Amino acid sequence: MSDLTLGALYGAVTLVVMFSGMPIAFALGVVATGFMYFCMPPSSLDTITQNVYEEMASITLLSIPLFILKGAAIGKSPAGKDLYSAIHTWMHKIPGGLGIANVFACALFAAMAGSSPATCSAIGSAGIPEMRRRGYSPGFAAGIIAAGGTLGILLPPSITMILYAVAAEQSLGRLFLAGIGPGVLLVLLFAGYAVYRAHKEYKAALVIYEQGGAKSAYLEDEHFTLAQKVEMLPRVLPFIILLIGVMIALYGGFATPSETAGLGALLALVLLAVIYGVWRPKDLSPILSSSIKESTMLLLIIGMSLFYSYVMSYLHISQSAAAWVVSLHLSKWLLLAVILLMVIVFGFFLPPVSIILMTAPIILPPLKAAGFDLIWFGIVMTVVMEMGLIHPPVGLNIFVIKNIAPDIPLKDVVWGVFPFLILMFVAVLLLCVFPSISTGLPDMIMGAK
């Protein structure tokens, strides 16, 4: 059997097992073990645990459960609601200010928590009801939170970027810096659309009112005194200081990524104790419990994905697939388009973690041979995977929104995120035309590669 035929069989069996409903980690492990049994020496089965351990024995991966603990500590607290309320209080006078407040709150919370679902849940639980109360359509309110939540895998600290850095053997610090520019770009695109949509809905509400209809909450003015605005700051500033402090520790050379993750988790727990009085065992139990569950699930997926990739490499499937892609002699940008299209398709039914670890051995060698900067590609790939978080059939953030706002029809949520999918596509095009959006900051701080 040729390597390409074996690779096609490997992929087909993987799809069949996944569509059977088996959890992703177990599906990948079962397929890898089965092919190891039939296609590799019998003694290979004795090395499964050793292979999984060696693949995961990375100091960089150690930062993942620590970042998860930091995210859980912030996500389980009222910090998200306070952050949203503070930004809304200061920005309510701007046209579309409520929508912009949600976008900015999502961006800041994502940078603190590093989790897309946690961002959606924390900001959405406060933002969606407030937007609907103020007259925004349910679909738009759901869409802007779902899209804003995707920033959790782009803005540092990002677990997705940690895994890409491991798979692509790239600098994690450089990758984190490279995500800031595109993250700001997406925030500005989302905020711009929020202003446009708010203006459009305001005009529609005004026409209805002038024709004798009911006065929408959209048309009501809202006032906050300076004292009310200042009152909101003390609860938010410590978390912003935490975010800045962690970034200084990482990029100032004072701590490694793993040490920074531990420092961030510890400081987040201290801030919860000081600001919200969350220090008793019964209060900390949900935080620690959710951290352990999420870390176990994610590390199991990572371990099985790395094991799956190891078997694929041993059988020369990844090498043959990469060589086949190179032999097609596609132009540089056509090659990129084909690979990103493949990532989009995988995003229909796989989470970003599995996409990175399963495809990296196949797609990175041809991209490197074509002259692409792998740091830049990691950011472009992350933005494309962000799209997978808000498009059916998986669309994790869609279901998080559906959980916190069950009365909004799923159809409205899907249509609500559609404009943001277009904006993400625009962001990818801008990154291709102006790669310095991503590479400029790391080159300036860490020097050109």
Per-residue pLDDT of 279-300, as tens digits, reads 888 888 988 998 898 888 888 8
Question: How many Å apart are CA 385 and CA 159, to the nearest integer?
Answer: 13
Joined together, the tokens standing for residue 63 give 């930062």
Distance, CA of 108 to CA of 119 (rounded, Å): 9
Print burial letters for 202-240: b (CB count within 10 Å at least 16), e (below 16). beebeeeeeeeeeebebeeeeeeeeeeeeebeebbebbe
Amino acid at 213: G
Mean pLDDT for the chain overall: 84
* Mean pLDDT within 254-274: 85
pLDDT (0 to 100) of residue 218: 55
pTM (predicted TM-score): 0.83
pLDDT of residue 113: 74
Per-residue pLDDT tens digits for 183-231: 999 999 999 998 888 888 777 767 665 666 555 555 566 677 888 888 8
Looking at the predicted structure, is the pLDDT value of residue 425 above 90? yes
Which residue's structure tokens are 């912009």? 100
CB–CB of 182/431 below 8 Å?
Answer: yes
Confidence of residue 375 (pLDDT cuts 50, 70, 90): very high
Residue 44: DSSP 8-state: G
- Is residue 367 within 8 Å of residue 412, measured between CB atoms? no
- Enter the tokens of residue 360: 């990296």
Distance from C-alpha of 10 to C-alpha of 32, rounded to nearest angstrom: 9
